[in-house]
Every structure is written in structure tokens, then in C-alpha cells.
């Protein structure tokens, strides 16, 4: 049975993940503190600047505890920052470079949100959410940030436009709510973060991954890794399509590693007749 390992993004953080990393990989815990400049686990709920390196570390430690057969999975994919963890787990990116990149990514995205100001995100939930996403985004000058499942999408853009989108979604019989974030992530408002991150990627070595790693930007195996990781700052996370692509490639077992069980829930709403495991 072919397996796919899934690495989570922001929103999956838990109160216990810092202790877990410190216990299993005290060296990685110390490295995260050194790179970030303080303990990112203690402030993961406060900013994407801290959440991203904390979740990256917890995901890699979770991956290291998987049984051998699971760790040798044929496929991998990561949601947003989880792409860096997936590439590190697949030996395409070394752990130290991955930690450096994800820390920079979190800091740049936090700064872009603060400098742009007035950015936000709204979750749209319910049957038909994915079908209505494009029309809702277009009508309210927003971007589709996350296409997570048939029943869950996230729109991103100017905070002033979000209330109208919430009202319109509810008129369609959907549920909608603004999210407690400090920026319009995965939208053109993140453009200021691109140049410095792109420059860092150019200085980073990438090897051929030992497993097939899918990009959530294209919902296809990574081709140009640096390009796709750069695009991921401003383009949608096509997670629903990524799950469908993994199934089409032959994945029958989906194993979520790292903190939380967010991706398992999304996979359950997207795929049928597959085995789902939260490790």
C-alpha cells in the first residue's frame, strides 16, 4: 500500500510541542532558539514569526518517530510552511538550512503583514465552499489563500473587504468568520516578503528528494523547488487538489506527522476509501 506523509502548516501548533521537541531532539530545540533568537515554542500562538520554526521542528521530530515502513513512504506533501519540512524529511534540504529558511520565512511574512497593514483572512465553511470560492474572492477583491477541502476555503486580502465577503458567504448558506491573523497570507499583499526569501533560496542547496514531494502551489511533484517555494508566499495553497493528486498517483495511506490533526480532518473531507493516520 503506497503511503503519503503530510506535514502541517500554521494553525496546527499545540502547547505540548515544545516539550516534545526538547525531549526527543534537545539539539534541534537548542538550534531553533539560537536561530530565532528566543524560544519560538513559547510564542508560537503570538506570531507567524515564531509559529513557523516551531511547527517545522515539531514536524521533523514527529517524522523521526515514525515506524520504518511509514518513514519510507513513497510520497510527501506539506501545507504552506510544511513544504519545507517535507523537503527536509525527503533529504532534499538539510535540516539546518530548513530551519534557517523557515525562520526567515516567518519573520518576512510577519513583517510584510505589519508593513502593509489592513490585511486579513476569512474562513468559508460548509458544503460547496470550494465551488463558491473563486466567485466570492473575485466579487470582493480578495485572493483564495487556502483551498483546503471541498468544505473549507480561506480568502485573503484587505481587511476592509472581509465583512462583505462574510455576509455574501452566509447568504449562500455557508458559514464564514474572520481569522485572528496579522496579515493577508498567501495573497499579493505578501509580495514584500518575496525578494529576500528568493535571495536566500538561491544561496541554499537542494538535492533530488528521496520520495516524490508534491508542491501545494501546483498540486504536482516539485519541479523548480526554489521557484515554487517563492511562489508559495503569494499564491494559494491548493491542498484539496494536492490530496486528489496524491490519490491519483497511487497513495492509499495518508499519515499526518507533527503537531495537531488538522490535515487528517481535511483529508477525511476530501478523499474516500483511504487509510488516515495521525502519528
For the stretch 169-224, pLDDT in tens is 999 999 999 999 889 999 999 999 999 999 999 999 999 999 999 999 999 999 99
Which residues carry out catalysis? 80, 186
Q: What is the mean pLDDT of residues 72-83?
A: 96
CATH code where residue 237 lies:
3.40.366.10
Does 216 lie in the same domain as 259? yes
Does 193 lie in the same domain as 100? yes
Does 158 lie in the same domain as 28? no
Could you list the residue range(s) of the whole structural domain that residue 7 is in? Answer: 3-115+188-278
Check whether 70 has a pLDDT greater than 80.
no
Residue 196: CB atoms within 10 Å: 15
For the stretch 221-277, pLDDT in tens is 999 999 999 999 999 999 999 999 999 999 999 999 999 899 999 999 999 999 999
Does 75 lie in the same domain as 11? yes
Q: Are 52 and 100 in contact (CB under 8 A)?
A: no
Check whether 111 has a pLDDT greater than 80.
yes
Question: Percent of the chain scored above 90 by pLDDT?
Answer: 94
For the stretch 28-51, pLDDT in tens is 999 999 999 999 999 999 999 999
Does 43 lie in the same domain as 167? no
Does 89 lie in the same domain as 24? yes
Give the per-residue pLDDT at 72. Answer: 84
pTM of the model: 0.96
Q: How far apart are CA 23 and CA 202, in angstroms?
A: 34
For the stretch 134-152, pLDDT in tens is 999 999 999 999 999 999 9
Q: How far apart are CA 215 and CA 80, in angstroms?
A: 9
Establish if 239 belongs to a structural domain.
Answer: yes
Count of domains forming the chain: 2
Q: Are 53 and 102 in contact (CB under 8 A)?
A: yes
Does 206 lie in the same domain as 84? yes
Cell of 187: 495573497
Amino acid at each position: 500500500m503506497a503511503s503519503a506523509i503530510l506535514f502541517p502548516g500554521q494553525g496546527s501548533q499545540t502547547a505540548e510541542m515544545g516539550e516534545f521537541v526538547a525531549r526527543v531532539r534537545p539539539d534541534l530545540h537548542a538550534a531553533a532558539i539560537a536561530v530565532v533568537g528566543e524560544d519560538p515554542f513559547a510564542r508560537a500562538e503570538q506570531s507567524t514569526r515564531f509559529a513557523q520554526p516551531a511547527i517545522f521542528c515539531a514536524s521533523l521530530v514527529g517524522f523521526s518517530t515514525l515506524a520504518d515502513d511509514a518513514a519510507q513512504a513513497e510520497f510527501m506533501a506539506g501545507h504552506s510552511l510544511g513544504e519545507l519540512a517535507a523537503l527536509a524529511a525527503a533529504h532534499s534540504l538539510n535540516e539546518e538550512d530548513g530551519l534557517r529558511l523557515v525562520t526567515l520565512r516567518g519573520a518576512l511574512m510577519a513583517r510584510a503583514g505589519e508593513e502593509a497593514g489592513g490585511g486579513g483572512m476569512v474562513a468559508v465553511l460548509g458544503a460547496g465552499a470550494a465551488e463558491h470560492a473563486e466567485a466570492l474572492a473575485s466579487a470582493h477583491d480578495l485572493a483564495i489563500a487556502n483551498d483546503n477541502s471541498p468544505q473549507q476555503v480561506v480568502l485573503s486580502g484587505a481587511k476592509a473587504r472581509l465583512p462583505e465577503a462574510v455576509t455574501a458567504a452566509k447568504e449562500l448558506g455557508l458559514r464564514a468568520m474572520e481569522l485572528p491573523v496579522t496579515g493577508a497570507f498567501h495573497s499579493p499583499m505578501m509580495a514584500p516578503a518575496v525578494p529576500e526569501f528568493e535571495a536566500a533560496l538561491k544561496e541554499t542547496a537542494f538535492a533530488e528528494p528521496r520520495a516524490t514531494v508534491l508542491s501545494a502551489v501546483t498540486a504536482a511533484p516539485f519541479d523548480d523547488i526554489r521557484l515554487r517555494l517563492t511562489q508559495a508566499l503569494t499564491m494559494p495553497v491548493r491542498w484539496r487538489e494536492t490530496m486528489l493528486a496524491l490519490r491519483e498517483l497511487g497513495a492509499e495511506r495518508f499519515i499526518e506527522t507533527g503537531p495537531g490533526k488538522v490535515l487528517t480532518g481535511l483529508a477525511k473531507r476530501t478523499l474516500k476509501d483511504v487509510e488516515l493516520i495521525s502519528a
